[in-house]
Amino acid sequence: MSESGNWGTPLVADRRYPARAASGGGGGNGKRSGGKSGGGTPPPRKPAPRKPAPRKHGLIVTMILGLFSLIWRIIWGVGWRVTAVLALIVFGASFYFYQQLPPVTDLVDARARGSVTMLDRDSQVFAWRGETFGGMIDAEHVSEHLRNAVVATEDKRYYQHFGISPRGIASAVRINLSEGRGPLEGNGGSTITQQVAKLLCLGVQYDPAQWKTEAAYEEDCRAGGVWRKIKEIPFSFAMEAKYSKAEILTIYFNRAYLGAGARGFEAAAQRYFGKSANQVNPAEAAMLAGLLKAPSRYAPTNNLKRAQDRANVIIGLMEEQDYLTAEQANDARAHPAELSEAAAKNAGGFFADWVME
């Protein structure tokens, strides 16, 4: 065989995979290639920015911060425990009052003694003597205007709260302090539920052996004070749990004193207007609701003009809270409530007194 030494161009396999990056090494052993065939040197990395060293407070600042932290931990630790204890006390007191509350029908008539209504030969009212109770009325069936007037005047958030209105109490405290009174003197910020609790004397029944007259009993029930205000809270919660909103209004409508010996809105509507409480118009409803603030002062039998002026304030509240349209409000102002013939004459006089004797 002859030696040729040259068989032509050497065979080279096709490259099926891309060449490794320079950072990955040049050979199968994974070592970085030192020559130019390695793909060149990688760019230098930028050094990571240094984090600023934490600022060290001075000794005095550190002590002050530590003192504040300690005080906060003490306040928090004591605060939530006191709150929990108070919540348990309120819950227990509310449950106790809840167990004592009777049915609504047992609470509508606040009088321990009756009254007398005198009629003439035509069966028309001639005179009243004593505190008149016109009979039980249902808050769901009285005049819509009367129901709206009372809520707008006494407790516009009545249907939203659960017996107590912190916003109302805070507002009343602010008003009292701004007028130079004590925080709980004057405006009390009471909800309708709290007013009913006061009318019920927080569940204390009238005892002739303890109070000489019903007037003395009611005066004691209306007395203010921090302790009585505190007791109103669980009693109001109990009422809200026991009764519906309509039932609480029913108690209110039947027990509230509205001047001229009228106990309840039915008696007041009959006494002043000669009609039932479910028939009063917006002007008459506003006048009746206005009596709640000061029954004797705003009684229309004492001063009709003053009662009408007070009613105009209530009409404004009803319009503001969308219970009356502007047209209805203007009509009520243009046609104020007037007394019935018997009420205007202050019927009875000395003859009725002689009959009573």
The per-residue pLDDT for range 23-70, each reduced to its tens digit, is: 444 444 444 444 444 455 666 676 666 666 555 567 787 888 888 888
The residue type found at 323 is: Y
CA 356 to the chain's CA centroid? 46
Residue 47, pLDDT score? 65
The per-residue pLDDT for range 283-300, each reduced to its tens digit, is: 999 999 999 999 989 999
Q: Which residues have a Cβ under 8 Å from the Cβ of 307 and sit 6 or more positions away? A: 287, 290, 291, 298, 299, 300, 337
> Nearest-CA neighbor of 314 among 341, 343, 291, 339?
291
> Nearest-CA neighbor of 142 among 310, 304, 279?
279
Regarding beta strands 125-129 and 132-133, do their DSSP bridges make them parallel or antiparallel, or are they unpaired?
unpaired
By the 8 A CB rule, do 233 and 225 touch? no
Cα(269)–Cα(110) distance, integer angstroms: 18
Residue 15, pLDDT score? 59
CA 336 to each of CA 146, 253, 281, 286, 318: distance values in angstroms, whole numbers, following the listed order? 15, 22, 10, 9, 15
The residue type found at 293 is: K
Q: Terminal CA-to-CA distance of the chain, rounded, Å?
A: 165
By the 8 A CB rule, do 194 and 232 touch? yes
- DSSP notation for 262-307: EESHHHHHHHHHSS-TTS--HHHHHHHHHTTT-HHHH-TTT-HHHH
Regarding beta strands 262-263 and 132-133, do their DSSP bridges make them parallel or antiparallel, or are they unpaired?
parallel
| The overall pTM is greater than 0.75 | no
Buried residues in 314-346 as b, exposed as e (16+ CB within 10 A): bbebbbeeebbeeebbeebbeebbbbbebbeee
pLDDT along the chain (357 residues), means of 10: 51 57 47 48 66 65 83 88 90 93 87 70 73 80 95 93 84 74 67 93 86 81 79 94 96 91 89 92 97 93 94 97 96 94 69 71
The residue type found at 140 is: E
Residue 44, pLDDT score? 67
The residue type found at 185 is: E
Q: Three-state SS for 15? A: coil
Q: Scanning the structure block, which residue is given the tokens 């102002």?
A: 333
Q: Which residues have a Cβ under 8 Å from the Cβ of 315 and sit 6 or more positions away? A: 282, 283, 286, 324, 329, 332, 333
